[in-house]
């Protein structure tokens, strides 16, 4: 598998598991090999807010890795990838990444992506933010990561939650030079 066709997708325990699901669907449609890592908290959150299961998510991924398997391929710098997207990203996961805590595969994979100078995008789902969150956001940014809260773009005149999710997912993929055709782009003219 070449570098340009492989993505690590992390799903942590923040609200918004739908972002991770949609990310996996779109990457599959783009023929990108995906390596899914889900935290235990993600599984709990999913049970409360989604009508799909962990098995449904795993079926969307090319490969699924246990968050406990810190020896999985994506835990190594020799594992070539485009980078990693954590969708959604909890403040706990962001803090682990910011501090270099690598006791889970999700955090270890993100740490490896950063050390290899690959792209890491965290779709942070938390509000309001306190100073500790802001410091962790700054630390991740200083290490080369991108904090991308999924904020709706109302200029696109979304008609549904799916439209808003697609816009955020598509804009994150833009950061990897992947155009899924799901973003209503600003042209300067009324849509």
Confidence band of 4 (pLDDT split at 50, 70, 90) = low
How many domains are contained in the chain? 1
* Residue 81 domain flag: yes
Distance, in Å, from the CA atom of 77 to the CA atom of 115, rounded to the nearest integer, reads 8
User: Whose CA is closest to 60, among 73, 50, 68, 72?
Assistant: 50
In sequence order, what DSSP letters do the residues of 85-110 get, joined into one string?
EEEEE-HHHHHHHHHT--SSHHHHHH
- CATH code assigned at 87: 3.40.50.1950
* Residue 35 CB contacts under 8 Å (≥ 6 apart), including other chains: 6, 7, 8, 9, 61, 62, 63, 64, 65, 72, 73, 74, 81, 109
Beta bridge partners of 86: 10, 122
* Residue 96 domain flag: yes
Judged against a pLDDT cut of 70, whether residue 57 lies above it is answered with yes
- CA dihedral (43, 46, 51, 52) in degrees, to 10, reads -40
Structural domain boundaries enclosing 24: 3-174
* Residue 179 domain flag: no
CB-CB contact of 87 with 23 (8 Å) = yes
Average pLDDT of every residue of the chain: 95
* Residue 187 domain flag: no
Mean pLDDT across the stretch 24-50?
97
* Residue 185 domain flag: no
Judged against a pLDDT cut of 50, whether residue 39 lies above it is answered with yes
* Residue 153 domain flag: yes
Distance, in Å, from the CA atom of 118 to the CA atom of 112, rounded to the nearest integer, reads 9
User: Whose CA is closest to 86, among 146, 2, 33, 25?
Assistant: 146
Distance, in Å, from the CA atom of 40 to the CA atom of 185, rounded to the nearest integer, reads 36
Judged against a pLDDT cut of 60, whether residue 75 lies above it is answered with yes
Distance, in Å, from the CA atom of 24 to the CA atom of 20, rounded to the nearest integer, reads 6
Judged against a pLDDT cut of 80, whether residue 191 lies above it is answered with no
pLDDT of residue 3: 47
């Amino acid at each position: 598998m070449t570098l340009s066709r492989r993505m690590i997708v992390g799903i942590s325990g923040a609200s918004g598991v739908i972002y991770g699901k949609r990310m996996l669907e779109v990457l599959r449609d783009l023929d990108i090999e995906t390596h899914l890592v889900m935290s235990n908290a993600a599984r709990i959150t999913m049970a409360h807010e989604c009508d799909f299961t962990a098995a449904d998510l795993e079926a969307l991924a090319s490969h699924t890795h246990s968050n406990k398997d810190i020896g999985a391929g994506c835990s190594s710098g020799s594992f070539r990838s485009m980078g990693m997207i954590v969708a959604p990203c909890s403040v706990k996961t962001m803090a682990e990444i910011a501090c270099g805590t690598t006791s889970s595969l999700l955090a270890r994979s993100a740490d490896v992506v950063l050390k290899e100078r690959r792209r890491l995008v965290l779709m942070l789902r938390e509000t309001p933010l306190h100073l500790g969150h802001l410091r962790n956001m700054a630390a991740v940014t200083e290490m080369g990561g991108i904090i991308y809260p999924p904020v709706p773009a109302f200029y696109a005149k979304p008609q549904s939650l799916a439209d808003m999710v697609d816009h955020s997912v598509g804009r994150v993929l833009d950061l990897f030079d992947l155009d899924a055709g799901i973003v209503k782009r600003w042209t300067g003219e009324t849509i």
